[in-house]
């Protein structure tokens, strides 16, 4: 479920017994210690947080869709209609691609667990589709196919196991929102009366599956670019009504804007982006909000280049990772300042409550964060 932050893909039930409480406290302590190790400023370069690259068995696929379930289980989706899944921490990967999808480009995938996932392919007209599996990818059901040639779907997100949204670039001057209330089995286009008018040339970027993200049961944010001003749109009622706010990241060109969002709760969020063209400067590639996106402030020391993915580290109020083709950056102060910790190429990043942070990108690259 594309809810950024430590609770992003989990719907948990709580218990209060002594044994359960003790285990929870121990788990929290272990996670806190591990998080401290990951975010501490290292004395030596080899002690920095690093990506442990996993062998996926493919090198001709770019994975922009990523759904981390735990340190052991993750799904990736990309070009050539490819979907892979691991349940052993990346040691082995199973090709679970939907049959007949070889001409599609998957750009987003949302997983509820090791067996249930929803994947989005992007493109004009019927190239935009949604697939759903309940058996770990052994079989897939196509639950939505776009029949409007004007629509181009970019991202999807889930609030819980039943309720989710997908977004399309503007149709008739407004972003189009698709809704499900049965876990992705069926979809309906929402009314656009509560959607602000789009700017000329404004669109979403299907770069990492993070142009539409949610936090909690009703809040969702949509990132835009390609117009005179980059914006973030926010809805507090599952996509029925929206407000738009300017974001201080590079804009004014079809290649510039906000590419990814991450919210650790309904108030605190991060935005990253810039200019995706190689060699083009992105001097203000990150921003942050503490009021649910009503206002955005630029990072005091942003990442040095365009970034396409961002995720909060679990069990932290201040630490997050941003990734892009030229590297990975870490913030430990809530997005005020960023420092580069890796120079490998990744397009998207996702973290889980058990500190299972994963990244994926070009040439079949998938990695898990290690210390």
d(CA 156, CA 165): 6
C-alpha distances in Å from residue 285, one per residue of 211, 235, 271, 282: 15, 24, 8, 6
What's the CA gap between 317 and 314, in Å, rounded? Answer: 8
Q: How many CB atoms lie within 10 A of CB 149?
A: 10
Predicted local distance difference test score (pLDDT) of residue 35: 55
- Does residue 352 contact residue 330 with C-beta atoms inside 8 Å? no
What pLDDT is recorded for position 47? Answer: 52
| First and final C-alpha spacing in the chain | 26
pLDDT digits (tens, 9 = 90+) for 123-172: 999 999 999 999 999 999 999 999 999 999 999 999 999 999 999 999 99
Residue 260, C-beta contacts closer than 8 angstroms, at least 6 positions apart: 207, 208, 210, 211, 223, 271, 272, 273, 307, 308, 309, 310, 322, 348
| Cα separation, 187 vs 132, whole angstroms | 12
Identify the pLDDT of residue 40. 54
At 38 the pLDDT is 54
- Output b/e per residue, 227-253; b: 16+ Cβ within 10 A: bebbbbbbbeebbbebebbebbbbbee
Spatial separation of the C-alpha atoms in residues 142 and 131, rounded to whole Å: 4
- The residue among 165, 70, 5 whose CA lies nearest residue 368 is 70
Residues 6 or more apart from 70 whose CB is under 8 A from it? 352, 354, 356
CA distance 255 to 52: 30
Q: What is the pLDDT of residue 174?
A: 98
pLDDT value, residue 92: 98
Q: Supply the pLDDT for residue 23.
A: 46
| Per-residue pLDDT reduced to its tens digit, 290-302 | 999 999 999 999 9
List the pLDDT tens digit at each of the 371 positions of the chain: 444 443 343 333 333 344 444 444 444 444 454 555 555 544 344 456 799 999 999 999 999 999 999 999 999 999 999 999 999 999 999 999 999 999 999 999 999 999 999 999 999 999 999 999 999 999 999 999 999 999 999 999 999 999 999 999 999 999 999 999 999 999 999 999 999 999 999 999 999 999 999 999 999 999 999 999 999 999 999 999 999 999 999 999 999 999 999 999 999 999 999 999 998 999 999 999 999 999 999 999 999 999 999 999 999 999 999 999 999 999 999 999 999 999 999 999 999 999 999 999 999 999 999 97
Q: How much is the pTM?
A: 0.90
Please report the pLDDT score of residue 180 as a whole number: 98
**DSSP, residue by residue, 266-320:** SS-EEEEEEE-STT---TT-EEEESSTTSS-EE-SB--SS---EEEEPTT-SS-E
Give residue 7's pLDDT: 36
């Amino acid at each position: 479920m594309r809810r950024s932050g430590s609770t992003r893909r989990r719907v948990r039930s709580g218990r209060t017994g002594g044994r359960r409480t003790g285990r929870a406290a121990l788990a929290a302590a272990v996670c806190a210690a591990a998080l401290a190790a990951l975010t501490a400023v290292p004395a030596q370069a080899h002690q920095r947080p690093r990506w442990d690259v996993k062998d996926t068995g493919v090198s001709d696929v770019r994975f922009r869709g990523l759904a981390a379930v735990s340190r052991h289980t993750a799904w990736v989706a990309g070009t050539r209609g490819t979907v892979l899944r691991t349940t052993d921490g990346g040691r082995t990967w199973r090709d679970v691609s939907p049959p007949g999808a070889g001409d599609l480009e998957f750009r987003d995938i949302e997983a509820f667990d090791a067996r249930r996932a929803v994947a989005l392919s992007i493109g004009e007209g019927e190239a935009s589709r949604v697939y759903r599996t309940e058996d770990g990818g052994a079989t897939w059901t196509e639950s939505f196919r776009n029949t409007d040639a004007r629509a181009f779907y970019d991202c999807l997100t889930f609030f819980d196991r039943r309720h989710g949204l997908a977004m399309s670039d503007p149709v008739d001057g407004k972003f189009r929102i698709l809704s499900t209330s049965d876990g992705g089995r069926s979809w309906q286009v929402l009314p656009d009366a509560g959607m602000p008018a789009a700017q000329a040339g404004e669109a979403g970027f299907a770069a990492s599956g993070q142009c539409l993200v949610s936090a909690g049961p009703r809040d969702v944010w949509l990132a835009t670019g390609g117009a005179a001003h980059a914006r973030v749109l926010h809805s507090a009622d599952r996509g029925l009504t929206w407000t738009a706010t300017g974001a201080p990241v590079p804009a004014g060109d079809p290649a510039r804007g906000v590419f990814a969002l991450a919210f650790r709760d309904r108030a605190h969020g991060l935005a990253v982006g810039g200019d995706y063209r190689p060699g083009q400067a992105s001097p203000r590639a990150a921003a942050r909000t503490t009021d649910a996106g009503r206002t955005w402030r630029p990072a005091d020391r942003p990442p040095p280049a365009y970034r396409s993915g961002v995720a909060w580290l679990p069990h932290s109020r201040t630490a997050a990772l941003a990734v892009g083709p030229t590297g990975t950056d870490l913030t430990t102060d809530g997005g005020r300042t960023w420092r580069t910790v890796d120079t490998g190429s990744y397009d998207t990043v996702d973290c889980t409550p058990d500190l299972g942070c994963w990244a994926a990108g070009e040439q079949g690259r998938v990695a898990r964060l290690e210390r």
